[in-house]
Copies of this chain bind each other. A is one copy, B any other.
Amino acid sequence: MRNIKLTIQYDGTDFSGWQVQKNTPTIQGLIEKAILIVTGEETRLTGAGRTDAGVHALDQRATFKTGSTLDPPVLSRALNANLPMDIRIIACEECEDDFHPRYNAKNKTYTYLICRDVPFSVFLRRFSLMCTYSLDVQAMDAAGPLITGRHDFSSFRASGCSAKNPVREIYTISVLEVGSVDFMGFTFKTPLLKISIQANAFLRHMARNIVGTLMEVGKGRIPPEEMTAILESKNRDAAGPTAPACGLFLETINY
């Protein structure tokens, strides 16, 4: 059996997340179905991370074993022909037998987009959180670095998280505001906030819970310096709410 590595891009808006579920379209489920159509094999796709319903991916990775002898470019085209247009295989290659897209990942970057002006958001709304209130970007940018490093991230972990160990290492958190949005050659005069988090791995909802907490800082409800106490409390209730999925992108995975 060959081990095939896929690089996948998806607009998560219309799917129920990565993981296979019965009676609802998921990225994993739809790709497994495409593999069955193309190779005739029932297989399990192993993803680098389980993105939630509505979360997008620029650079998701996954592997599957196959007896098929199809060349990777042919396999890639055949899978794309059997996938909805919102999911695309953008690279396909044979990899070493023991390569694991999650365990072998050195780090992942999730990026969250917040669009600061509702009326201009028609073209941006699928891909950003629309926020009508103003946010103190400086305070948010000061708050982020206070939780970088190797820590128990229980305060930012969803209750249903299945990870045995809540310790993760965040390398960087950056909060950047740009005054206008470039959108396919058009420029929208609406501020856009871009929050990027790079870590060795993420607990369930960790990126969205950090963003939700930073937004509370931005609104002035949590002072930036309180981030340290929130982290140390290891108590989910101490942190802010889970930011909506639509603004989140799995941006890069480094191996």
Contact = CB atoms under 8 A, between A and B. Distances in A.
Interface of A: 9-11, 56, 58, 76, 80, 85-90, 111, 113, 118-128, 178, 181-186, 192, 194, 249, 251
A111 to B, nearest CB: 8
20 contacts: A9-B120, A9-B123, A76-B119, A86-B122, A87-B122, A88-B118, A88-B120, A89-B119, A90-B120, A111-B186, A113-B185, A123-B127, A182-B183, A182-B184, A182-B185, A183-B183, A183-B184, A184-B192, A185-B194, A186-B249
A253 to B, nearest CB: 15
Contacts of A80: 118-119
B113 A90 contact: no
Given A56-B123, A86-B122, A113-B184, 10 more contacts: A11-B123, A85-B125, A88-B119, A90-B119, A90-B120, A113-B185, A124-B184, A126-B126, A178-B185, A183-B184
A89 B127 CA distance: 20
Contacts of A127: 123, 184
A89 B120 CA distance: 9
A120 to B, nearest CB: 6
Contacts of A119: 9, 76, 80, 88-90
